[in-house]
Amino acid sequence: MITGDASYIKKINRALIIREILKEGMISRADLSKITALTKATISAQAADLLEEELIVETQLEHSAVGRKPIMLSLNAEAGYALGIDLDFGQVSFMLSNLSGVPVFTETIPLDTEDYTEILQLLIQYITACQAKYSESRYGIIGIVIAIHGLVTTDETIQYVPRFQWASVDLKADLEKAVGTSIHLENNANLSAFAERAFIHHQTDNLLCVTLYSGIGLGMMMDNKFFRGHDGFAGEIGHMIVVPSGIPCACGNQGCWEKYASETSVFEQLSERKQVEPVTYEHVRNWLEKQDVDTQETMEQFIYYLAIGLNNMINMYNPDVVVIESELLQLYPASLPKIHSHLHSKISHYRELTLSGMGHSSCVMGACALAISRFLDVPVLNLPYGNEA
């Protein structure tokens, strides 16, 4: 039983009720009482508050059964909108979702600069435009979360972004001053992990999400919370050494995992072997369809080194679910069974290892989901996936 002062208990009950409404989509007060084990009086009082705040709406179910038509409660998804931003090297992606996490629009803008001031102005302009466009909804823009492909401290200061060569910049403060609202920064891999938990793996408490694109990142959800480490830098698993005295890495070490098992490493190897610059996913797809030996050998080596790091990671964290984000692995036949074939340690324990179906959009979807979680004050979200507004 939850104990504490009245305001704390009310807050916990409110989050529980909103979570179940989100999970079910549409639910009666009676069913809410059964599922949450809260009294009917508590459900009625909380529902009245949420209706007054226009966060939920009532709908009378039409059916032919004898008896009173039940009044169903559902989230007022259009009461506000979440803005997720993925600030990546070469492009910045924007997604606006409603309160159910359903995308309203997405846009990706090429980024031909690494200059902090120029990128700051671009973000300010876009955020300001969104604020103006959606100001007439009940709550307007309810939250803005930006994915950073680098080190973000626990107080949300950018410590270092390798591809931009940014060090110790306070993007959060600079944006908040310009747009007049709270901004939240989070590591991109953490947001991908949050998206996998919020939209796909609803029954998972401990989830690891490995992103293999330009480097290797690790997003960690432990007991449904981010695991960030002391300063917020946990998850830089791409710099785990898998080959002592191996390929030099920009971090200063040699033999880092991402030099052998990131998609960038595959593209670099294939570029050298095929004398093609730059190698694209389409190139790899075509070579695999033609059963090109160079491409198959490179992919097999990629999977071998990937499995070494996964084995280490699984033994360290003992997760429920491990999600791998990689477009290349989606292209390669039977990549998942091949990975499993290398994970034969008797002490490695996990429930599920899977390839992400969300792809590059997971990061920006996670940003929207985190903004919704903060606004509704519901730490563990179960949102629908696969819908569009």
Tokens found for residue 32: 């809410």
pLDDT at 60: 79
pTM > 0.85: yes
Q: Does 313 score more than 80 pLDDT?
A: yes
Tokens found for residue 318: 């003992």
| Lateral strand order in the sheet of 71-75 | 27-28, 71-75, 56-60
Q: How confident is the model at residue 231 (pLDDT cuts 50, 70, 90)?
A: confident
241: three-class secondary structure by DSSP: strand
pLDDT at 65: 58
Q: What is the mean pLDDT of residues 72-83?
A: 96
Q: Does 58 score more than 50 pLDDT?
A: yes
Residues 272-290 pLDDT 10s: 999 999 999 999 999 999 9
Q: Where are the beta strands (DSSP E) in 99-183?
A: 103-110, 141-148, 151-152, 158-161, 166-169
Residues 314-340 pLDDT 10s: 999 999 999 999 999 999 989 999 999
Please give the Cα distance from 334 to 323 (Å, whole number).
16
pLDDT at 67: 61
Q: Does 359 score more than 90 pLDDT?
A: no
Q: Where are the beta strands (DSSP E) in the chain?
A: 27-28, 56-60, 71-75, 81-88, 91-98, 103-110, 141-148, 151-152, 158-161, 166-169, 184-187, 207-211, 217-222, 225-226, 321-325, 352-355
- Separation of first and last alpha carbons in the chain: 39
370 neighbors 184 (Cβ within 8 angstroms): yes
pLDDT at 389: 43
- CA distances from residue 167 to 170, 179, 209 in whole angstroms, order as listed: 9, 23, 25
pLDDT at 296: 96
Q: Does 36 score more than 60 pLDDT?
A: yes
Residues 115-159 pLDDT 10s: 999 999 999 999 999 999 999 999 999 999 999 998 999 999 999
Q: What is the mean pLDDT of residues 83-101?
A: 96
- Structural domains for the chain: 6-75 (1.10.10.10), 79-193+362-376 (3.30.420.40), 204-359 (3.30.420.40)
Strand partners, 217: 211
pLDDT at 291: 95
Tokens found for residue 296: 């198959």
| Portion of the chain with pLDDT greater than 90, in percent | 81
Q: Does 191 score more than 80 pLDDT?
A: yes
pLDDT at 333: 87
Q: Does 76 score more than 90 pLDDT?
A: yes
pLDDT at 1: 43
233: three-class secondary structure by DSSP: coil
| CB environment 308-336: b (16+ within 10 A), e (fewer) | bbbbebbeebebbbbbbbbbbbbbbeebe
- Which range among 128-132, 229-233, 258-262 shows the weakest confidence by mean pLDDT? 229-233
